[in-house]
Chains A and B, each alone.
Chain A
Amino acid sequence: MQRYIVKRFLQSVIALLALSMIIFVLSRLTGDPTMLMLPDDASHEDILQLQRALGLDQPLPVQYWIFISRAVQGDFGRSIKGQMPVIDLISDRLPNSIKLGGVAMLITVVLAFPLGVIAAVKKGTFIDSLANLVAVLGQSLPQFWVGIVLIQVFAVHLRLVPVAGTGSLAHYILPGFTLGWFLVAGIMRLLRSSMLDVLDSEFIKLARIKGVSARGVIWKHALKNALIPVITFGAIYLAILITGAILVETVFAWPGVGQLIYQGIVYRDFPVVQAVVLLTAVIVISVNLLVDIIYAYIDPRIRFG
């Protein structure tokens, strides 16, 4: 177990280093990164000064070392727009993103799990078709467009909820649902098919023969085992959630990290985009590592395999 964890940890560190190198190379790809970091009307002295401050007069490996050691200390430079330290921008907004993501995950758990289980148990019925429709539409609808249409219907015409922004609980309804639904679609589909597999297996038949109630078989014995593939895909769902958050926060003017990266695109604010990408990589890779360790703990076949 220990060896497995150490191995996976080292792999994660390598993945992160590789990614930081790609980002570093990208930042140098267009030639002088000062051109990206300074406004167009910057004077010659400004450029020289920034070049020295960034260590651009040093050889490339040294530059990479400076880049990475500053990043580790949380120093991602200043944003082009507003000249704020990038790390402050991110830490101001991260709580908002986490809150919205939490609401989306709550919606996902409340909807996806019952729907997926019931669709499997009542295969071929109305509920199953409904679940199918949710899944198919979830794959075919552009999330940002769904957000806009929901605003048009529920905020502009029916005036049930606010159009955008934050403040009250009502502000969470539309963005939370838009963000959550696409996770619901994916998880439900996977849970349905893995439920069907599990319901067909020997130990479920045994549990039935032993006289466990139908409810007990489905919600305890079967669901527990059907969840394993869902956990395996956990990292992919996190990626979907983050991608979705960028779009949804942009549509609903939600002051989170996703909206920050949108502003980064609009102003071509390279330091901001770079920092968000690096921090996301750290989060994603750590979560992956954690999932793998939990998984190995639950299922010994992994760590000895």
Chain B
Amino acid sequence: MSTTTDTVIRKGFLSTRVRPFTAGLRRTPIIPLAIITLMVATAILADVLTPYSPVDISLSERLRPPFWETGGSLSHPLGTDPMGRDLLTRMIYGTRVSLVVAILSLIVGGGLGAALGLISGYYGGRLDGFLMRAADTTLAFPIILFAILLSVVLGGSLPTVVIAVALILWARYARVIRGEVLSVKERDFIAQARIAGSSSARIILRHLFPNVLNTLVVLLSLQVGWVIIVEASLSFLGAGIPPPTPTWGSMIAEGRDYIASAWWVSFFPGLAILATVLSFNLFGDWLRDALDPKLRQM
């Protein structure tokens, strides 16, 4: 597939189609997929993977360095945090929080956005105008502020974080899906379905939705990484899921006061975020190129 596309570009056909940014990565992204599998397995098997509790404090063990530094030992391979908890254990449980928040908020936000996009594109008119204005305003607003406001009013918790992230997410889905619907709905089979007496609800669900599904899947996969970063940012600011639940963002925040003496406390959770997010982004890029290349401009 990659050679055909490249030839097409060289011939100057489809002049707006630029060579993909990540041309070298279009083969199946094996390493990213392996990391994603590892992260999912870690999240599911967290209880089996580590002998330690992620929350029990043991001050006699506090701030042990990783095993390769003097004073470190293999019993705490990545060292311990200021409360004496095993860092690796907390990172393992943190994987669970990150993935659960990402999946739930993508389902809620993506679902809401897709539904509004379908309705907006199908019905058009004033409703469409209103919804798209709302989507544009949401996209242009630093919505993390809104998430912070929610958390200050309601207190940080899993549902608050999911709702906040979903409120950030819906707009992009609504915009992109609506655009898709506008082009699909002009096609003959939609007119035929209408002539055959299909109700609007049936046309939306049975005819339009399957046709925008590819786009939806690509968009979802492209945003997993981004959602993980938003959750981590909220946790870092103390507006996410409250302690003692281990999250990567709050672990980084806990290490902030020990930058000079215990670098590992905030370093390793950040590395976990980087590996996970990078993997999801590369995987998403690949999936987009495979399923829906026109989303590349996004």
Binding site for B on A (CB under 8 A): 11, 15, 19, 23, 26-27, 29-30, 36, 123-124, 132, 135-137, 139-145, 148-149, 151-152, 156, 163, 189, 192-193, 196-197, 200-201, 235-236, 238-240, 242-243, 246-247, 250-251, 261-262, 264-266, 268-270, 273-274, 276-277, 280-281, 284-285, 288
Which residues on the B side are within 8 Å of A123 (C-beta)? Answer: 19
**8 closest Cβ pairs, A-B complex:** A145-B270, A235-B140, A242-B142, A140-B278, A239-B142, A196-B18, A140-B277, A200-B15
Q: Is the CB of B237 within 8 A of A268?
A: no
- Residue B133 CB within 8 A of the other chain: yes
Interface centre among B18, B273, B281 (most CB of A within 10 A): B18
Q: Is the CB of B270 within 8 A of A139?
A: no
Q: Which of A140, A238, A273 sits near B149, CB closer than 8 Å?
A: A273
C-alpha gap A145/B268 in the complex (Å): 10
Stretch at the interface among B54-62, B208-216, B224-232: B224-232
Interface centre among A132, A140, A280 (most CB of B within 10 A): A140
Provide the B227-261 mask, 1 if CB < 8 A to any CB of A, else 0.
Answer: 00100110011110000000001001001100110
Decide yes or no: A239 and B21 within 8 Å by CB, A140-B278, A144-B233 being known contacts: no
Stretch at the interface among B45-53, B85-93, B151-159: B151-159
Which residues on the A side are within 8 Å of B22 (C-beta)? Answer: 132, 136
Q: Is the CB of B152 within 8 A of A29?
A: no
Q: Is the CB of A132 within 8 A of B151?
A: no
Q: Is the CB of A262 within 8 A of B237?
A: yes
Give min CB distance, B230 to chain A, whole Å: 9
Q: What residue in chain A is nearest B18 (Cβ atoms)?
A: A196
- Residue B146 CB within 8 A of the other chain: yes
Which residues on the A side are within 8 Å of B252 (C-beta)? Answer: 142, 144-145, 148
Q: Would you list which residues of chain B between 244 and 298 have a CB under 8 Å from chain A?
A: 249, 252, 255-256, 259-260, 263, 266-267, 269-270, 273-274, 277-278, 281-282, 296-297
Q: Would you list which residues of chain B between 54 and 84 have a CB under 8 Å from chain A?
A: none
Q: 27 A–B contact pairs at CB < 8 A?
A: A29-B154, A136-B282, A140-B229, A140-B274, A141-B273, A141-B274, A144-B233, A145-B266, A148-B256, A148-B259, A163-B259, A193-B296, A197-B15, A201-B15, A243-B142, A243-B144, A243-B145, A246-B145, A246-B237, A264-B152, A265-B151, A265-B238, A265-B239, A268-B152, A280-B141, A280-B145, A285-B140
**Main SS at interface, chain A:** helix
Q: What residue in chain B is nearest A163 (Cβ atoms)?
A: B259
Q: Is the CB of B256 within 8 A of A274?
A: no
**Main SS at interface, chain B:** helix
Q: Which of B23, B249, B281 sits near A139, CB closer than 8 Å?
A: B281
Q: Which of A139, A247, A264 sits near B226, CB closer than 8 Å?
A: A139
Decide yes or no: A26 and B133 within 8 Å by CB, A142-B232, A247-B236 being known contacts: no
Give min CB distance, B245 to chain A, whole Å: 17
C-alpha gap A124/B252 in the complex (Å): 37
Q: Is the CB of B278 within 8 A of A247?
A: no
Interface centre among A142, A201, A266 (most CB of B within 10 A): A142
Q: Which of A23, A196, A247, A280 sits near B233, CB closer than 8 Å?
A: A247
Q: Is the CB of A274 within 8 A of B149?
A: yes
Which residues on the B side are within 8 Å of A243 (C-beta)? Answer: 142, 144-145, 233
Decide yes or no: A30 and B153 within 8 Å by CB, A236-B140, A265-B239, A281-B141 being known contacts: yes
